[in-house]
Amino acid sequence: MKKLLFIGLIGFGGWQYYSNNIMGTNSLPSISSFSPIKSTTKAAPRPSYTCDGRQHCSQMRSYEEAVYFIRHCPSTKMDGDHDGIPYERQFNK
């Protein structure tokens, strides 16, 4: 029984020495030792719109396209109160 206790103490002491002197004072790995996780999912491609002279809601193919035109193209006529929200007249009752 004493031999088993002695072997256990030697093993524990060896582990303490190893963790403090070989691995450094901190036995936990540092954050810098981990590599960043790369995402396996791909982001959906963003549609590329261009200002081509369209001005009205009826000329747009989507709400997102209308928002792009309001924010980036001159002379649009889709945002009467200039709050950045197109198609407001279509939803007013």
**How would residue 93 be classed by pLDDT, with cut points 50, 70 and 90?**
very low
Q: What's the rounded mean pLDDT across residues 62-76?
A: 89
Residue 16 has pLDDT above 80, yes or no: no
Give the residue, 19 or 7, on which the prediction is more confident. 7
HSE (CB half, 13 Å, CA atoms) of 27?
6
CB contact burial 2-41 (16+ within 10 A = b; e otherwise): eeeeeeeeeeeeeeeeeeeeeeeeeeeeeeeeeeeeeeee
CB 23 within 8 A of CB 56: no
pLDDT of residue 53: 92
Give the residue, 33 or 50, on which the prediction is more confident. 50
